[in-house]
Amino acid sequence: MTLRRLGLGLTTNLHPSVPPDPWAVAEASPGLVDFVEYSAPLSLDEARASSAQFCRVERNELPVLFHPVHLNLDGPELEPVETLRALDAHARAVGTPWVGNDVGWWHGRGTPFSGYHFVSPSLDAQSLDRCVAHALHVQAHLSVPLYLENPVTNARRGGMHVLDFMAALHAQTGSGLILDLGHLFSHQLARGLPLESGLDGFPLEAVREVHLAGGVVARHGARHTYFDDHAQPVREELFALLESLVPRLPNLQAVTLELDGHPDGLARRTAERVRPWVPRPSSGTLSTASLPAGHEAAARAPLASAWEGYDRTFGRTPEQDDPEGARLELDIRLSALAEELDGTFPLSRPLLAGTRVGLAAFAASDAYRECFSVGRALQQAWGRWSREQAREVRDPAVEAALAFEAWAQMAAQRQVPQAFPVDLSEAFFALKSLRRHLGGRAWATGELPDAVTGALRQVLARPGPGPWWVQPSFEAGKLELRASRPGRPSR
């Protein structure tokens, strides 16, 4: 199979409100950007329905790469064959020369982990067997190559170096590799290693694509942790690593800038800095590769062992290898989980899980685990767990919050103002004020008090006289309220 060089690319999740716009950057600076790498659902129909911008992918305004981030390359179950057939049809329709994805467990029965913070495999032989099985299974149903990306590793789990893990994956699957420099940085910091540790002896010829993205390095005592956050500036350490590494990659086909959230002008500035290091597109042959066939190991791999990693990741079982790293990783997951819950449950979430302890209890619950074991929606999981908590605490404020949120779910479907029995407008005012207070305090002091929801509880327990005419709606999963004067429907 002839492999062509694509050059330098920018990523997009195809949401018009999230910059940069790769096509606009390319138009403003001809020759700066050679291709677009995009994320979208695996199914072509779902991808079209999820974003009006998908038409730009299909118009081939620039060459495209499909980086789905909806594709399991670890976990307790292989992707269904019909799902992979849809993925292959998608890949063929847009003309992507390969499909690349991070090696990790992205979703359970279709329910994604909050914030798309996939569960990374432990770096050990058992996890390697699972990931090999997943990769061979996916590749067996793809007519284009599957490239494997090194995962984020903020907690030390398993004794292998991540580059040794990826080298073994390449050796056992034949798949090309994507080297994400920020993900590599996360591993090196977690283990206290120099940034370039492990590159000597690593099969650099297997690297087909390099990812460069924004991120944050946080210090916790003597430990430093890299958090993958594409909306942040790119670290200088990663610029230096990219410049030194590109000449050592003989079969490099693409360098992709993952700058989700960066304004077009800043994305252009980053691309201009990187452009001199990246080879221009070429249709010449870099090397010849054959697609690996399916493998019987997929049926024998210990896929169910992925649940052991899940339970350690979400605090259901004690972390023996790296308790501090596990806590830091869980903090990021909890922040994404809280943001997702707050959209639909703005009152009950701070009341029942407004502290780290409370939110971690939900994340470790059977109700949340069922999101990924049986495909239960997050809203259903929270509903079950919150009702259980309400029965235990017997708090009038919690009961009022749960009653309103359940009513809002039903009232939103009618798309007209509805009457709630009591007026909770003061509670939503208190909630907005509380978030402003907590945000300011956290920014100034770096910490938050354990419990500051007293005022919210008080106003929920003293609602104004009803009825309260309000029209609920959910915009992008966030509850929005349009209220009329108390007692009068809006027109």
Q: Which amino acid is at 124?
A: D
Q: In the chain, what percentage of residues exceed pLDDT 70? A: 93
**Closest to 430 in 3D by CA, of 407, 461, 409, 408:** 461
Per-domain residue ranges of the chain: 7-300, 314-483
Average model confidence (pLDDT) across the chain = 92
Q: Is the backbone peptide bond immediately before 63 cis, with ω within 30 degrees of 0? A: no
pLDDT higher than 50, residue 490: no
Q: Are 365 and 383 in contact (CB under 8 A)?
A: no
Q: Which amino acid is at 138?
A: V
The residue-averaged pLDDT of 430-450 equals 81
Architecture of domain 7-300: Alpha-Beta Barrel (3.20)
- Alpha-carbon gap, residue 101 to 120, rounded angstroms: 12
Q: What is the pLDDT of residue 450?
A: 59
* Alpha-carbon distances, residue 480 vs 218, 397, 409, 471 (angstroms): 34, 20, 11, 8
- Alpha-carbon gap, residue 314 to 329, rounded angstroms: 9
Q: Residue 42's beta-bridge partner residues?
A: none
- Summarize pLDDT for 208-250 with one digit per residue, the tens: 999 999 999 999 888 999 999 999 999 999 999 999 999 999 9
Confidence label for 453 from pLDDT (cuts 50, 70 and 90)? confident
- Alpha-carbon gap, residue 48 to 435, rounded angstroms: 36
pLDDT higher than 90, residue 288: no
- Summarize pLDDT for 365-422 with one digit per residue, the tens: 999 999 999 999 999 999 999 999 999 988 999 999 999 999 999 999 998 889 999 9
